[in-house]
Amino acid sequence: GLLSAGIDVIDIGLAPTPLTGFAIKLYGADAGVTITASHNPPEYNGIKVWQANGMAYTPEMENRLEAILESGNFKKAPWNEIGTLRKADPREEYIRKALEMVHLDGSYTVVIDSGNGAGSILSPYLQREMGNRVISLNSHPSGFFVRELEPNAKSLSALAKTVKAMKADVGIAHDGDADRIGVVDDEGNFIEYEVMLSLIAGYMLRKFGNGKIVTTVDAGFALDDYVRPLGGEVLRTRVGDVAVADELARHGGVFGGEPSGTWIMPQWNLTPDGIFAGALVLEMIDKLGPLSELAEEVPRYVTLRAKIPCPNEKKAKAMEIIAHEALRSFDYERLIDIDGVRIENSDWWILFRPSGTEPIMRITLEAHTEEKAKALMEKAEGLVRSAVERA
């Protein structure tokens, strides 16, 4: 399709998403394309397009591209002007550049679980080149996934057992295209996303100096409380890696991440990169100590999540009602309405947000005590159910 429109194509073959983003800049390309379902099962495969700077296409750019495709109003090249095709493998260059940025004084035992995804062809090799002893788990890209692709405590139970059995220093896991990272500590415990996000944001501040940390509206207070003493200022934006990358570029931030294991290191690239993130986790352990001890330093609050069924056609009206009722019935101090409605007080916050992929409304909230969190959730669920009925 691209060749027929006169576009020159560099085919990097089977590749994790971070390698696509890296290759765009390495080869001076105008754009990149990844075919992936990311952290979802393979039946959700789609096309993700990347800009020349490694940032994903914005929703506005995607809409323009889809409109051109649907209209059929694009030019096909004559036979003598079709694009050229060449194959390339940027893996060696990726590893070489990564080793220029990440340095270890010691050597560690690392278990890598790539979930049979595309990260298998790069993540274990980078860790080995860093001087670590690597134990691979689910690291052959078979196309048949033996675990749920999203890295979480349940899907990484085998990784946790392996880390413990092999007395490893850390376990690193990826989703299908390796733009995400999940981490198991030296005691075999899955480190909650919020805790890991806080730790790596703090480490980036130590490594690169004071600055802005960009996260999304569904991230909790632990991040703010952890990075503030380290000279970090937290900015919140819409959910999605493109929104985080956009804010990072706009404000010259030090680090950006979502509480889903999606991290963006602007000093490296504006593409979410679970593989480079794994290298940074090892550097953090090397410089600061065992992960199990570091995780104890991050404050923990009570987080609850709920999904309320809501037909897609009712979402807009339901959100109008939710916004009106929430602002009227909760005693809040601050409102963020860039993506859904987030209301905050000094010791709790609630986010009401329609899902972008499923017919549901999401409620995410955090409080300092379980009692307070449960009371807030009961009230929030009742409000959303009522709004969906009335929409």
Dist CA 146 CA 115 (whole Å): 7
Taking Cα atoms as reference points, which of 379, 360, 366 lies closest to residue 314? 360
Tell me whether strands 133-137 and 360-367 are parallel, antiparallel or unpaired: unpaired
157 belongs to the catalytic site: no
DSSP label of 102: -
Q: Which of 4, 38, 155, 386 is catalytic?
A: 38
Strands (E) in 65-216, as ranges, are 85-87, 109-113, 133-137, 170-173, 182-184, 211-216
Q: How far is CA 38 from CA 18, 19, 79, 117, 145, in A?
A: 11, 14, 36, 9, 12
Taking Cα atoms as reference points, which of 243, 113, 236 lies closest to residue 176? 113
Dist CA 117 CA 275 (whole Å): 12
Residues 172 and 240: beta-carbon distance below 8 Å: no
Residues 313 and 319: beta-carbon distance below 8 Å: no
Name the token pair of 314. 């009712």
Q: Would you tell me how many other CB atoms lie within 10 Å of the CB of residue 219?
A: 27
Dist CA 59 CA 62 (whole Å): 5
Taking Cα atoms as reference points, which of 255, 216, 221 lies closest to residue 362? 216
Phi, psi (deg, nearest 5) at residue 232: -100, 145
Dist CA 263 CA 292 (whole Å): 20
Note the Cα 22 to chain centre separation in Å.
17
- Please report, for the chain, how many H helices and E strands are present, in that order: 12, 17
Residue corresponding to tokens 């104890």: 296
Residues 196 and 261: beta-carbon distance below 8 Å: yes
Note the Cα 137 to chain centre separation in Å.
21
Name the token pair of 263. 């991290």
Q: Mind telling me the catalytic residues?
A: 38
